[in-house]
Structure 1
Amino acid sequence: MANGFSKVTWVEHTEYDESVAHHLYRPLLSSGMGFGAQKWLAALQRQCKCLAVLMSSTISTEDHSGITPTGRTSMVRLANRMTRSYCAGVCATMHMWQLVQVGNMGEEARLMIRNSVDKPGEPSGLVLSATTSVWMPVSHQRLFDFLRDEQLRSEWDELSHGGPMQEMVHIAPGQDYGNCVSLLRTTAANNTNQNAMLILQETQSDALGSLIVYTAVDIAAMQVVMNGGDSASVVLLPSGFAIVPDSFPNSARPNDCNGDLIKGNNGGSLLTLGFQILVDNQPPSAKLTTESVDTVNSLIARTIQRIKAALHCN
Structure 2
Amino acid sequence: MYRDIVNNAIAFGAERWLMELRRIGERCGSAALEYMHFYDNGVITLPEGRRCVMKLAHQVLKEFSKNLTMSSKSDLPQYIADTDDSGVRFSIPKNRNLFLSNDPFIVIVASSVSLPLPSHTVFDFLRDPARRFEWDKFCDGNPWHEIAHISTGTHPNHYVSIIQPLVSPPKDGVKIIQECFIDPLGSYVVYSPLNTQELNMAINGHDLSNVSLIIPSGFLISEDSKSLSKDSKSRGSLLTVAFQMHMPAPLITNFESAADASNALMTTVVQSIKHALLSGSELK
TM-score normalised to the size of structure 2?
A: 0.84
Residue identity opposite 1:238 in structure 2: P
**Mapping of residues 127-206 of structure 1, within 5 Å:** 127-188=106-167, 195-206=172-183
More displaced, 128-137 or 64-73? 64-73
1:247 to 197, 212, 225: 225
The DSSP-based 3-state class of the residue aligned with 2:278 is coil
Tell me if 1:43 matches 2:20. Answer: yes
Q: Which moved more, 1:50-59 or 1:175-184?
A: 50-59
| CA positional deviation for 1:158 | 1.5
Residue identity matched to 2:200: Q
245, 258, 264: which one aligns with 1:277: 245
Decide whether aligned partners of structure 1 residues 200 and 114 sit closer, same or farther in structure 2, where only a CA change above 3 A counts.
same
Between the aligned partners of 2:256 and 2:210, the Cα distance in structure 1 is 32
Using the TM superposition, give the Cα deviation of residue 294 of structure 1 relative to its aligned residue in structure 2, in angstroms.
2.3
The 3 A distance-change label for structure 1 pair 239 and 104 is: farther
Shift of 1:106: 7.1
Q: For each residue in 1:130-150, what CA deviation from the matched residue of structure 2 results, as whole angstroms up to 9, or x when unmatched?
A: 111110110011111111011
Q: Aligned match of 2:200 in 209, 223, 226?
A: 223
Structure 1 residue 204: Cα displacement: 1.4
Aligned length: 268
1:307 corresponds in structure 2 to 273
Say which of 29, 32, 37 aligns to 1:52.
Answer: 29
Q: Runs of 4+ in structure 1 displaced over 6 angstroms?
A: none
Per-residue CA deviations over 1:165-187 (Å, capped at 9, x if unaligned) read: 11011001233121110000012
Distance 1:36 1:310, change over 3 A: same
- Fraction of identical pairs, as percent: 27
Range that drifts further, 289-298 or 38-47: 289-298
Q: Residues of 2 paired with 1:147 and 1:222: CA distance? A: 22
Deviates more, 1:203-212 or 1:58-67: 58-67
Q: CA deviation at 1:54?
A: 2.2
C-alpha contact (below 8 Å) 1:172/1:181 kept by paired residues: yes
CA spacing shift, 1:98–1:280, aligned 2, 3 Å: farther
Q: What SS is found at the alignment partner of 2:181?
A: strand
Distance in 2 separating the partners of 1:71 and 1:249: 40
The 3 A distance-change label for structure 1 pair 245 and 70 is same
- Contact 1:98/1:112 (CA < 8 Å) preserved in 2? yes
Q: Does 1:68 align with 2:46?
A: yes
Deviates more, 1:239-248 or 1:29-38: 29-38
Stretches of structure 1 that go unaligned for 5 or more consecutive residues are 1-23, 118-123, 252-263
Q: Rate the CA distance shift 1:211–1:250 in 2: closer, same or farther, 3 A.
A: closer
Q: 1:294 aligns with which of 233, 251, 260?
A: 260
Counterpart of 2:66 (choices 65, 75, 88) is: 88
1:290–1:164 Cα change, 3 Å: same
Residue 228 of structure 1 and its aligned partner are, at CA, apart by 0.0
User: What is the CA RMSD across the aligned residues, in angstroms?
Assistant: 2.9
What stretches of structure 2 of length at least 5 have no aligned partner? 97-102
**Displacement of 1:281:** 7.6
Distance 1:95 1:125, change over 3 A: farther
Quick check: 2:80–2:259 contact (8 Å CA) kept in 1?
no
Question: Structure 2 vs 1, CA of residues 116 and 214 (structure 1 numbering), >3 Å: closer, same or farther?
Answer: farther
| Greater Cα shift, 68-77 or 233-242 | 233-242
